[in-house]
Chain A
Amino acid sequence: MRSRPAVLGQRTGLLVVGSIVALLVVLPVLRLGYVVWDEGSTGFAVLLARPGLGEAVTNTVLLAVAVTAVAVPLGTLVALGLRRADVPGRRWWPFAMLLPVLVPQFVLGYSWTQAYGRGGFTDTTLGVQWAPVLGPWGVLAVLVVNTVPLTYLFAAVGLATRAEPNLERAARASGATPMSMLRNVTLPLLRPSIAAASVVSFVLTLESFAIPQVMGTPAGFTTVTTTIYRDLSLGSDPVSFVEAIVLALLLVAITVIVVVPADLWLGPRLRVTRVADPEGAPIVTTPRSGSRWIAAGLGGYLLLGVAVPLVALLAAAVTPAVGVSPSPGNWTLDNFSFVITSRNIEALGRSAMLAVTAAALLTLLGGCVAVLERGRAGRALASLVTLTLVLPGSTLAVALLITYGRWLGGTLTLILLAYLAKLWAFAHRPISGALDRLPAEELQAARASGAGPLTAVRTVALRPLAPALLGAWLVCFVTALHEVTMSSLLYGPGSDTLAVVVLNSKELGRIGPTAALSVLLTLVTVAPAGPIWLLVRWLRAPRRARARSLAHAP
């Protein structure tokens, strides 16, 4: 039975976090609903029956299912494969695996068309092209490449926080084959992380815009988000605006139908309570030839998925004009000097500051919801924060503008609120997947032994959760830094962010400067990611190894 102060604390937490959810998520979504009810209810049936909408909805849902079905098993397999101690270069693969997520979505989509499309890099240099790169197959491939790092991260964080090497050892000692150990011990322990990865990849695909727009629209492949963009681009009249909102709310409805039952029903069933520290060292496998295949597979995936497109991008960035051969004699840095201006650097600084702040607050907020979701009301909060993740950026920005623009219009604060609303689920899901490493009894034991609440959380909870918290922070930081749609709609004088720079470059329509900016953006994100990844590795290392490395430090 739980003590009265604990119940009271839980209730206060629910009240505080519930109020923030109401302000950031519920109120803006309701405000959108009110606009539709107030201005467009009469044409609702006509709108939903309009030609092409059914196809866009079907495409969107099928795409989300396909991306989830491919990316989640792939990410999990990679995480399991990289547990093996004998994979060549094992220390660096995790960092390499995260590279695709560090590349902004529009850059990845665009670089694939530059790499594999007709007249692209491989076509001009090797005579090899992949015609379906423009169309549903190209969209699916790039979304998978973009999503796998996330699903890998979820699985890797799950393994770091949930693995039970002693259980696995016991299974092996009892004669279990590696497959049966995987099926009966490892995967059941990973279920919450896999479920979290599935929800996030499904929802992220529903709301993805840049990749379907760059690679799908030219081939006539429409999704709900590209239809919204079209509605807003050619219509300054209220009807087009209301149509765009209805379509955005349709995405919310799809999310409610899929995610809420999953959260309410699956959540408690997937959860188990375990001790705070895994017992025993990780299992060390004997070297086998299979490990080389794992390394080769990962290498091939990264080469085709990321390296070749990025080389194509670099080639476009150093070439003066489209159609000019990217041979060394033609190389120029003009495109880079065109985009590196003091105004752009200021905007980058603002974006970095916003991203750092948003990621820190999101990790805190995500952790709060993860703690609270052990109760039914808390699980409802967990589902609610997913709703704003699925709202397309432009619609969420409009929702916040309508709700708070009167007071906060044009300020960085409104952009920060948009990031918090949009990415809350992003921070919450990986932490949630790792949190059952934290039985309440151990916290209570620390408190009973005289530790203050903060000390108890710091010493008992933070350490085993550190990989998940850092993972959540990293994902939020990168996503906020790349965010274009919301900030480009919400910025005001003196609060222009990287988004404005990106859009200016894209709007100019020149491939060279756009490619140069994309290269710089990728570098800006990859550079700080290296040290952060090393920190994650250090935190994940067993305490004794850390102490040794500190003792050896000069």
Chain B
Amino acid sequence: MSRRRRWWMSVLVPLVLLPLACGSGSDEESDAITLYTCVNDESIQPIIEQFESDNPDTEVELFRAPTGDLNARVAGDVRSGGLKADVIWACDPLTMQGYVDQDLVGAWTPEASSEIPAQFRTDDYVGVAVLYMVAVHHEDVPAPDSWSDLKGPDYGPVGVPDPSVAASALGALGYFNQAAGYGLDFYSALEEQGAEQVGTPDDVTAGVAQGLYQAGITIANSAYLAKDAGSPIGVVWPEPGAVAIYGPIALARDSADSTLAKDFISYVVSEPGQQVLADAGSYPALPGVTGPEVPADAPVVYPDWPQITADKDTLLSDYQQIFGG
């Protein structure tokens, strides 16, 4: 081989092989499970760290992505040899029920699940974190007492999250659709007084903080975070209640024999696991665990998820008649 040719080969071959050498392939001698989740990094990392530290020589390999990407990854897995996850921790029951219906997860929950409120569990999965949909208002306007107050003249344009983007917004839509005195008329009334639909609950919080909207429907974590950082807003858990959306965890069917996967789920459901989650800023599902701010006697309501799952398409289509999109 000439010198010049050797030079070219010495440049090209490593270039091609470099990424191949950098694949993940962790072959260490440790008991490992794979967790798929959409829970944000700030909440999931402390849980994994604590579990791994309590269980030496174990490893929880994480794939974390927004719900849409998580769905795409699971769909890709299913069509290329099967689900690669041992545990799935979703952000809403609708997504998890889809996995159950495909026989990908379910059929097992830990014994401690009975401590979790009945509204947050089924035979296939158990809620471990909760998002509360609350009202946020600019500090220039009075705090609303009830959701229906948002229809009043005090609140000018209201920011509403898009239920076809965020499952938490879909949960709120599902609740209001069935609630006495609300229904879809609630959204029509908001729209008539100038309400605007934005993308996610975080966009609602930012819009109210910027003064674009006088009030809005958002998740409590987002609202308190902005308020604590100095944004000029107030947070209210209005009557008849903040809408609770639970994030469920489930065991993959193919991992029914994995003790480590079951141990991990049991840990997340347990009081110590729930406390780690609460300390990381998420609302725990287990009663009695001290978590982020909840006003005294704050009312809470629960959407009927089986009904929402069954009616999703009609519900969204009727809603889009009001807000478009």
Binding site for B on A (CB under 8 A): 35, 51-52, 118-120, 213, 217-218, 220, 222, 229-230, 232-238, 240-241, 244, 320-324, 350, 353-354, 357, 360-361, 394, 397-398, 401-406, 408-413, 416, 452, 454-455, 485, 488-489, 491-495, 500, 503-504, 507-512
Contacts and interface: CB of A to CB of B under 8 A. Distances in A.
A244 to B, nearest CB: 8
30 contacts: A119-B207, A217-B199, A220-B323, A220-B325, A233-B66, A233-B71, A236-B98, A237-B101, A237-B102, A241-B71, A353-B22, A357-B18, A360-B15, A394-B68, A398-B73, A401-B77, A401-B80, A402-B80, A412-B23, A412-B24, A413-B19, A454-B8, A492-B24, A492-B63, A493-B34, A507-B66, A509-B200, A509-B202, A510-B226, A512-B229
Contact of A229 (B68, B95, B102, B312): B68
B324 A220 contact: yes
Contact of A234 (B76, B90, B170, B212): B170
B231 interface: yes
Nearest to B207: A119
B81 interface: yes
CB-based closest 8 A-B pairs: A509-B202, A236-B98, A411-B23, A401-B76, A321-B229, A119-B210, A323-B209, A405-B80
Contact of A488 (B65, B74, B201): B65
Contact of A218 (B198, B201, B312): B198
Contact of B165 (A233, A324, A412, A512): A233
A240 B71 contact: yes
Given A322-B210, A354-B19, A397 B72 contact: yes
Contacts of B231: 321-324
B211 interface: yes
A241 B229 contact: no
B16 interface: yes
B42 interface: yes
Nearest to A123: B210
Nearest to B222: A509
A532 to B, nearest CB: 18
A405 B198 CA distance: 36
Given A217-B162, A218-B199, A454-B8, 15 more contacts: A119-B210, A119-B211, A220-B325, A230-B165, A233-B71, A233-B165, A236-B102, A321-B226, A322-B226, A405-B76, A409-B77, A411-B24, A492-B24, A492-B61, A494-B26
B1 to A, nearest CB: 12
B23 A507 contact: no
Contacts of A322: 205-206, 209-210, 226, 231
B62 interface: yes
Given A412-B24, A454-B4, A455-B4, A398 B72 contact: yes
A234 B180 CA distance: 26
Nearest to B221: A509
Nearest to A415: B19
B76 A402 contact: yes
B225 A510 contact: yes
Contacts of A324: 229-232
A241 B75 contact: yes
Interface string B63-105: 1111111111111110111001000001000111111011000
B25 interface: yes
Nearest to B206: A322
B65 A503 contact: yes
A410 B61 CA distance: 11
Contacts of B22: 350, 353, 412, 495
A503 B64 CA distance: 9
A508 B19 contact: no
Contacts of B316: 234
Given A361-B16, A454-B8, A234 B312 contact: yes
Contacts of A493: 24, 26, 34, 61-63
B317 interface: yes
B172 to A, nearest CB: 14
B115 interface: no
A353 B18 CA distance: 9
Contacts of A492: 24, 61, 63
A238 B71 CA distance: 9
A522 B25 CA distance: 32
A217 B325 contact: yes
A403 B81 CA distance: 10
Given A509-B205, A510-B225, A511-B206, A452 B2 contact: yes
Contacts of B232: 323-324
Given A322-B206, A412-B22, A489 B73 contact: yes
B233 interface: yes
A232 B69 contact: yes
Nearest to A350: B22
Contacts of A401: 73, 76-77, 80
Given A234-B94, A235-B71, A321-B229, A218 B197 contact: yes
Contacts of A118: 210, 212
Contacts of A416: 19
B149 interface: no
B41 interface: yes
B102 to A, nearest CB: 7
B290 interface: no
Contacts of A495: 22-24
Given A233-B67, A357-B18, A413-B23, A238 B210 contact: no
Interface string B1-36: 010110010000001101110111110000000100
A230 B164 CA distance: 6
A402 B66 CA distance: 20
Contacts of B209: 321-323
B55 interface: no
A360 to B, nearest CB: 6
B40 interface: yes
B284 to A, nearest CB: 19
A6 B165 CA distance: 56
Most buried by B among A218, A232, A354, A361: A218
A452 B4 contact: yes
Nearest to A512: B229
Nearest to B60: A493
Contacts of B196: 218
Contacts of B324: 220
B60 to A, nearest CB: 9
A241 B75 CA distance: 7
A486 B151 CA distance: 42
Contact of A405 (B26, B81, B200): B81
A320 B312 CA distance: 38
A416 B207 CA distance: 38
A220 B321 CA distance: 12
Nearest to B94: A234
B204 to A, nearest CB: 10
B167 interface: yes
Contact of B210 (A213, A320, A323): A323
B101 to A, nearest CB: 7
B77 A405 contact: yes
Given A360-B15, A454-B8, A409 B205 contact: no
Contacts of B70: 236
B201 to A, nearest CB: 8
A222 B325 contact: yes
Contacts of A485: 69
Contacts of B212: 118-119
B70 to A, nearest CB: 8
Contacts of B65: 488-489, 503
Contacts of B226: 321-323, 510
Nearest to B325: A220
